[in-house]
Chains A and B, each alone.
Chain A
Amino acid sequence: MTTTSAPAKPRFSLVSILATPTVGPFIALVLASILFASQSDRFLSASNFSLIVQQVMVVGTLAIGQTLVILTAGIDLSNGMIMAFSQILMAKVFMDNAVPAPLAILLGFIAAMAFGAANGLLVTRLKLPPFIVTLGMFNIAFALTRIYTTTTIRMTDSPWHVFFGRTFTVGGDGGTKFTYGSVLMVLLFFIAWFVLRETAIGRRVYAIGDNPEATRLAGINTQRLLVGVYMVAGLFYGIAGLLLISRTGVADPQAGQNANLESITAVVLGGTSLFGGRGNILGTLLGALIVGIFRNGLTLMGVDSIYQWLITGVLVILAVAVDQVTQRRAK
């Protein structure tokens, strides 16, 4: 009769606090911000913050899909190329085939989801490792994009395609400008957070990455769920494609070639385990912001951009090391 619902007594050791997902990244974010603020007056300005969010909105949206896949103990190397194909498609059918803009954008989303479905089906039906499947899909989507077109398409004449690049002002005249795309990205993060945390599907996504066999034995159709996850991830990549057009004003067939690693960086920095089943999608938002803030801060300090790569690399290895150590302690 000692069953209680009182929360377990927390252990306040340094390791357990650092090991809590999103606490480590949050501390890194605060420390970096203090450093950059001491080095540059512009860093803490609202307009600079708006700029950072704009700079991370594409990778951030890609990273939502990436987080979903990684939570299932998968990985998606194809996301940047799926995004590239999707944006080229939504631009080209509009320009060349006179498809109405909203429909063209929808086609882009559908194509991205189809790539996701292909990834999911190969992973579940043929039991191929996600790493290999999505590496293959990376090449396929890249090739298809380049076969389709090699020229950059200017899209500024289509209000639908560049809507999310438009800004609104917060704080009256002379206030800070934010893009609608930034708002959309944050909104998408909160929707994903809600679904993962509050719905059965969300909890099952965690369960499948945690112990796929137990999830299957609990009567859950794990194959269908996995295909669904890859498809929804595809939808996020399609939305990222639209945001990319909005931000740059063009659809570029060369886009997104490093986006897979950048999105994985955001996910890992955000404290989501590469082993699946653990993590928090809001950590990914934090992770994307960390990368953005480091890039931005170092630029403001006048540091050569090659050092940004150096620091991002160190941060990723650090984040994975913390994950490994905590996993070992858990076992």
Chain B
Amino acid sequence: MSKPTPVLEARGLIKRYGHVTALDGADFEVMPGEIMAIIGDNGAGKSTLIKALSGALIPDEGEILVNGNPVVFHSPIDARHYGIETVYQDLAVAPALNIVENMFLGREIRRPGVLGSVFRMLDKKRMLTEATEYMSDLQFRIQSMQQAVETLSGGQRQGVAVARAAAFAEHVVIMDEPTAALGVKESGMVLDLIRKIRDRGLPIILISHNMPHVFELADRIHIQRLGRRIAVIHPKDYRMSEAVAIMTGARDVHEEDKQAI
């Protein structure tokens, strides 16, 4: 049985900052329809890896493949063209704009005909309809799609950012600490949303410091250490403490720790 092609894959990524080697031959993959979590201690190269995958930085060596085809990202916009959307931890929404405007920011739909082509008029109705449909598909509870994002709670705001990324991502959504700024209840709402997006078939890369969240959501867990992938595990086969031990180097990595690769 041949292995299916990863949706997004990195091979031997190297990134140096002066004398510091942030990525030292890092590999990575995410398969169709799964949530792949990335964990690692501070300085393990997690965020450098994510920045390389989302186009925020260019690795010195190594290659990135989308559906098996080598690609080069020069900016997050490039990554987006390949269907990779990123949700950033610091609530990347415009608070004074409403939910629909935020969802379509940078991808506005214009009216058909002369009104759109000459007068550049936005098709507000269509954007509202599409956004409303999408949000109700995700069972995202919201009073009005036309309320300013600042009237929402922190969790709902992050929900808007997550839903926007999922709505436009063709291949992968990268979520960088999506619950870091949120309370318990709010986090639960966002986790729920992430699960629904996975169930719709969109693979997700989840970076989180929160072990319970990682173990609750992830299908597989990529453990990053000293700039490399040292293990990939199934959360059901491991306890949190074991994963943390691998992550920090307190426990030696055995062959079986790599079986999920």
State the A residues within 8 Å of B (CB). 1-8, 195, 198-201, 203-204, 206-207, 210-211, 213-215, 217-220, 277-278, 330-331
Given A2-B141, A204-B105, A198-B94 contact (CB < 8 Å): no
Q: Which of B11-19, B143-151, B230-238 contacts A (4 or more CB under 8 A)?
A: B143-151
Complex Cα spacing A213 to B91, Å: 10
- Is B88 in contact with A5, judged by CB distance below 8 angstroms? no
| 29 A-B contacts (beta carbon < 8 Å) | A2-B141, A3-B140, A5-B145, A5-B146, A7-B146, A7-B147, A8-B144, A8-B146, A8-B151, A195-B120, A199-B120, A201-B120, A204-B106, A210-B95, A211-B92, A213-B90, A213-B92, A214-B93, A214-B94, A215-B94, A215-B105, A215-B106, A217-B76, A217-B88, A218-B92, A218-B107, A277-B95, A330-B95, A331-B150
Complex Cα spacing A215 to B101, Å: 11
Given A5-B144, A200-B110, A203-B101, A217-B122 contact (CB < 8 Å): no
Q: 19 more A-B contacts (CB under 8 A) besides A7-B144, A200-B108, A218-B92?
A: A1-B139, A3-B140, A3-B141, A5-B144, A5-B145, A198-B119, A198-B120, A198-B121, A199-B120, A199-B121, A200-B110, A204-B106, A211-B94, A211-B95, A217-B92, A219-B106, A277-B94, A277-B95, A278-B96
- Is B92 in contact with A3, judged by CB distance below 8 angstroms? no
Residues of B in contact with A, size category: 35 or more
Complex Cα spacing A207 to B102, Å: 9
Given A5-B128, A198-B122, A200-B122, A210-B140 contact (CB < 8 Å): no
Residue of B nearest to A203 (CB): B101
Q: Answer yes or no: B253 CB below 8 A from chain A CBs.
A: no
Q: Which of A4, A207, A330 contacts B144 (CB 8 A)?
A: A4
- Is B105 in contact with A3, judged by CB distance below 8 angstroms? no
- Is A203 in contact with B122, judged by CB distance below 8 angstroms? yes
B74 to chain A, nearest CB (A): 13
Complex Cα spacing A312 to B46, Å: 56
User: In the complex, which of the residues B76, B95, B105 has the most CB atoms of chain A within 10 Å of its own CB atom?
Assistant: B105
Complex Cα spacing A204 to B97, Å: 10
Q: Which of B96, B120, B142, B147 contacts A3 (CB 8 A)?
A: B142
Residue of A nearest to B120 (CB): A199
Mark contacts of B60-91 with chain A using CB atoms, 8 A cut-off: 1 yes-contact digit, 0 otherwise: 00000000000000001100100000101010
Within 8 Å CB of B2, what residues of A? none
- Is A199 in contact with B136, judged by CB distance below 8 angstroms? no
Residue of A nearest to B145 (CB): A5
Complex Cα spacing A5 to B128, Å: 8
State the B residues within 8 Å of A (CB). 76-77, 80, 86, 88, 90, 92-97, 101, 105-108, 110, 119-122, 128, 132, 135-136, 139-147, 150-151
Q: Which of A4, A199, A218 contacts B143 (CB 8 A)?
A: A4
Within 8 Å CB of B135, what residues of A? 3
- Is A207 in contact with B94, judged by CB distance below 8 angstroms? yes
Within 8 Å CB of A199, what residues of B? 119-122
- Is A3 in contact with B88, judged by CB distance below 8 angstroms? no
- Is A206 in contact with B97, judged by CB distance below 8 angstroms? yes
Residue of B nearest to A278 (CB): B96
Q: Which 6 A-B pairs have the closest CB atoms?
A: A218-B106, A200-B108, A3-B136, A210-B94, A214-B92, A219-B106
Q: Which of B77, B128, B140, B142 contacts A219 (CB 8 A)?
A: B77
- Is B145 in contact with A277, judged by CB distance below 8 angstroms? no
Complex Cα spacing A204 to B104, Å: 11
Within 8 Å CB of B128, what residues of A? 5
Complex Cα spacing A203 to B98, Å: 11
Within 8 Å CB of B101, what residues of A? 203, 207
